[in-house]
Amino acid sequence: LGLVNETMAGSANVIYPQSMWDPAWSWAVEMQDPPFHNPHAVLINISLIQPPYVTKPLYAVVVPTIILVSLVTNSLAFFVMGQKNLRTPTNVVLVTMAWSELLTGVSSLPWSIYYLWQKITPDHEMTDFWCSWHQVFALHLPAFFHTTSIWLTCYLAIQRFFFVFFPAFMIGYTNKTNLKFIIGIISWAILSEIPKIFMKILDNYPGKSGKMYCLQTHREFIDWIIGFNNYNMYGYFYKLVFVHIVPCFLLVFFTIVLFVKIKLQEQKRKELL
Q: Identify the pLDDT of residue 2.
A: 37
Phi first, then psi, for residue 157 (nearest 5°) are: -65, -40
Q: Identify the pLDDT of residue 86.
A: 82
Q: Identify the pLDDT of residue 38.
A: 62
Q: Is the pLDDT of residue 178 over 80?
A: yes
CATH class of 4-272: mainly alpha
Q: Identify the pLDDT of residue 34.
A: 54
**Which has the higher per-residue pLDDT, 232 or 29?**
232
pTM of the model: 0.82
DSSP per position, 109-177: HHHHHHHHHS---SSB-S-HHHHHHHHIIIIIHHHHHHHHHHHHHHHHHHHHHHHHH-TTTTTT--HHH
CA 8 to each of CA 13, 23, 137: distance values in angstroms, whole numbers, following the listed order: 9, 11, 35
Q: Is the pLDDT of residue 245 over 80?
A: yes
Q: Identify the pLDDT of residue 270.
A: 82
Q: Is the pLDDT of residue 37 over 70?
A: no
How far is Cα 24 from Cα 30, in angstroms, rounded to an integer?
A: 9
Q: Is the pLDDT of residue 23 over 70?
A: no
